[in-house]
C-alpha cells in the first residue's frame, strides 16, 4: 500500500498493511535536523512518513482593516466593531495556492496522504482579540461572534474548494484549540451554539467535494467529543491521553466514529523521559492502538527539549513497531 492508501484505510475503518506513521517534527528542531540528516525531506523519507501536513494559501484577514476598528488584540477591539467591516481577504486568487501545489507535488511523488491546515473559529479570533478577551467576548457578544464565525465558515468553504478541486489535497485540517489541560476552556453550551453549526457546514461541504476533514485541538475536549462524532469529523488530533482523554474511552465509544492522529506525547514523553521509560511508553501506546483507527504521530510539534538523538531513538522504534 502507498501512504495515501494506508491512511485512507485507517480513516475509513478498512484493513491496512501496517500502522501509518507521521510526526510534527519541523519548527523547533529544524536546524538540528538539517545538521543531522541534511534536510527535513531526508528525515521524512528515512522514516517513510505516510502523511504530509501542508501550510499555505491565502491569508484570511486584512490586518489593516482590523486595525482601523481598534488595535489588534486590544480590549478596545470588540466583536461588534468587526461585524460590518470587510476584513476577510479574497480566497479566490489561485496564485496564492501555488506554494501548496508545489508542496503537494513533492509529497504525492512519495505516495503520501496530504492535508492542508487552516484555522478554525475560536483559534482565528484568538489571533484578532487575544485569547483572554475572546473568552470574555463569548459571554458578552455571542450574537456578534456567531456572525463572525458564520463569515469564517463562508471563507473556509471557498478556501476548501480551491484546495480540494484546484490543488488536490486529500483533507482539510481545521486547527481550533478549545481545550485546557483538564477541561474545555469555555462552556460546552457555547460550543454547541456558536461553533458546532458553522463547523458542521464546513465538514459537510468538504465531504461533498470528496475530501476528508480533520480537527486539531489541544487539551481536554471530552465534553464535546459527542459533538465531534455528530460533526462527522474524520480525524481528531490529538486524542490527548494526558489531558483526561483515555484511549479506552476512545476505543469503546468513538473508534467507530472517527480516526485519531497522535499518541506520541511531546508534553510528558518525547525529550523528557529516559530511553527505557520512553521505549516502554511508545510500546504501551502501540499495544493499545495498533491495528485500530490510529495514525502514529506526535501530539504536537516536537519541542526544543527534545534532542535529535531522542528524536532518532523514538522514530527508529516507531518505524520498527509500525511494521511488526
- In the chain the beta strands, taken as DSSP E runs, fall at 51-54, 113-119, 171-175, 212-216, 235-237, 259-264, 294-298
Residue 284 C-alpha cell reads as 504501551
Q: Which has the closest alpha carbon to 93: 56, 123, 65, 121?
A: 56
pLDDT per position as a tens digit, 199-208: 999 999 999 9
Cα–Cα distance, 3 to 44 (Å, whole number): 12
Q: Which residues pair with 236 in a beta bridge?
A: 215, 260
DSSP string, 236-304: EE---GGGT--HHHIIIIITTT-EEEEEE-TTTTTTTS-HHHHHHHHHHHHHHHTTSSEEEEESSSPPT
Domains held by the chain: number: 1
Q: Residues of the chain whose pLDDT is less than 70?
A: none
pLDDT of residue 27: 86
pLDDT value of position 26? 86
Rounded distance between C-alpha atoms, residue 10 and residue 292, angstroms: 7
Residues in the chain: 324
pLDDT the model gives residue 77: 95
Q: What is the CATH number of the domain that holds 112?
A: 3.20.20.210
pLDDT tens digits, residue range 43-91?
Answer: 999 999 999 999 999 999 999 999 999 999 899 999 999 998 999 999 9
Q: Which three cell numbers stand for residue 266?
A: 511531546
Boundaries of domain holding 237: 3-322
* The overall pTM is greater than 0.85: yes
Amino acid at each position: 500500500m502507498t501512504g495515501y492508501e494506508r491512511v485512507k484505510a485507517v480513516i475509513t475503518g478498512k484493513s491496512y498493511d501496517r500502522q501509518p506513521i507521521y510526526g510534527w517534527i519541523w519548527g523547533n528542531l529544524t536546524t538540528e535536523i538539517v545538521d543531522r540528516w541534511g534536510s527535513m525531506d531526508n528525515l521524512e523519507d528515512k522514516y517513510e512518513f505516510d502523511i504530509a501536513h501542508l501550510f499555505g494559501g491565502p491569508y484570511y484577514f486584512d490586518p489593516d482593516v482590523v486595525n482601523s476598528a481598534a488595535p489588534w488584540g486590544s480590549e478596545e477591539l470588540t466583536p461588534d466593531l468587526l461585524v460590518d467591516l470587510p476584513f476577510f481577504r479574497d480566497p479566490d486568487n489561485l496564485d496564492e495556492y501555488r506554494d501548496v501545489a508545489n508542496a503537494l507535488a513533492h509529497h504525492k511523488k512519495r505516495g503520501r496522504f496530504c492535508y492542508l491546515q487552516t484555522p478554525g473559529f475560536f483559534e482565528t479570533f484568538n489571533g484578532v482579540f487575544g485569547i483572554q478577551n475572546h473568552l470574555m467576548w463569548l459571554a458578552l457578544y455571542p450574537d456578534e461572534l456567531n456572525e463572525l464565525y458564520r463569515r469564517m465558515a463562508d471563507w473556509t468553504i471557498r478556501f476548501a474548494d480551491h484546495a480540494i478541486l484546484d490543488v488536490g489535497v486529500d483533507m482539510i485540517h481545521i486547527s481550533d484549540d478549545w481545550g485546557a489541560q483538564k477541561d474545555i476552556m469555555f462552556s460546552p453550551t457555547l460550543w454547541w451554539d456558536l461553533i458546532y453549526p458553522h463547523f458542521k457546514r464546513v465538514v459537510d461541504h468538504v465531504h461533498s467535494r470528496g475530501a476528508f476533514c480533520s480537527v486539531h485541538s489541544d487539551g481536554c475536549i471530552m465534553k464535546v467529543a459527542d459533538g465531534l462524532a455528530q460533526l462527522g469529523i474524520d480525524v481528531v488530533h490529538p486524542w490527548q491521553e494526558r489531558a483526561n482523554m483515555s484511549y479506552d474511552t476512545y476505543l469503546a465509544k468513538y473508534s467507530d466514529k472517527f480516526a485519531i492522529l497522535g499518541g506520541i506525547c511531546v508534553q510528558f514523553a518525547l525529550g523528557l523521559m529516559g530511553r527505557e521509560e520512553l521505549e516502554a511508553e511508545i510500546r504501551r501506546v502501540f499495544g493499545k492502538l495498533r491495528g485500530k483507527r490510529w495514525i502514529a504521530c506526535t501530539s504536537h510539534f516536537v519541542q526544543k527539549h527534545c534532542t535529535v538523538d531522542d528524536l532518532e531513538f523514538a522514530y527508529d522504534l516507531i518505524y520498527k513497531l509500525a511494521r511488526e
